[in-house]
Amino acid sequence: MKLYIVRHGQVPHNDLKQYNIADEDLTDLGIKQACNLKDKINNINFDIIISSPLVRTRHTAEIINANNTNVIFDDRLKERDCGNLSGKPLDFVNREEYWNYNTTLQYGTSENIKTFFQRVFSFLDELKTKEYKNVLIVAHSGVSKAFSGYFEGIKDGRFLNRGLNNCEMKEYEL
């Protein structure tokens, strides 16, 4: 099975360099990014599109769904819950440590990185039991970091720079 993971288009908190705000929609640039991506992937026949249920991913999935493929939503694809870091500048905490799988630090009420990765890994483990050929996943930067950990290994545990940019796509074999 081929998996194509896409990060949603730009949202206001991306532009403002802040920790995510739970349910923002795409900016005008985010819409343009999604339209450009649609043109790049419209020749791939996806059996299904599986998306995070958040507004930014729903909107991205709607735009890039050139062939009116069935879209389902899975809560396990939601972004890592940053808790009380929401809306704070990205440099409010040490981001290297925030995205370090081996950290012993807890930043406020944010979701523990290992718990977050396990959530995404359980989604991938379940997906292995399906009979799809091509699956498009529309999710978030953090989810793409978890995909990297699943397919490429935890390695040194540092995930800050292992995520996708807005409307970037990566392919994996499951």
What 3-state DSSP class applies to 115?
helix
| Given 8, 13, 59, 140, the catalytic residue | 8
What contacts 95, CB < 8 A, 6 or more positions away? 160
CA torsion 137-141-143-146 (nearest 10°) is 120
The helix (run of H) or strand (run of E) holding residue 151 is helix 141-152
With beta carbons less than 8 A apart as the criterion, state whether 104 and 74 touch: no
Burial class (CB in 10 A: 0-12, 13-18, 19+), 173: exposed
146: closest CA among 52, 43, 48? 52
Residue 8 annotated as catalytic: yes
Helix/strand/coil percentages in the chain, nearest 5: 40, 15, 45
| Given 13, 24, 59, 79, the catalytic residue | 79
With beta carbons less than 8 A apart as the criterion, state whether 134 and 70 touch: no
Residue 79 annotated as catalytic: yes
> Annotated active-site positions, please?
8, 79
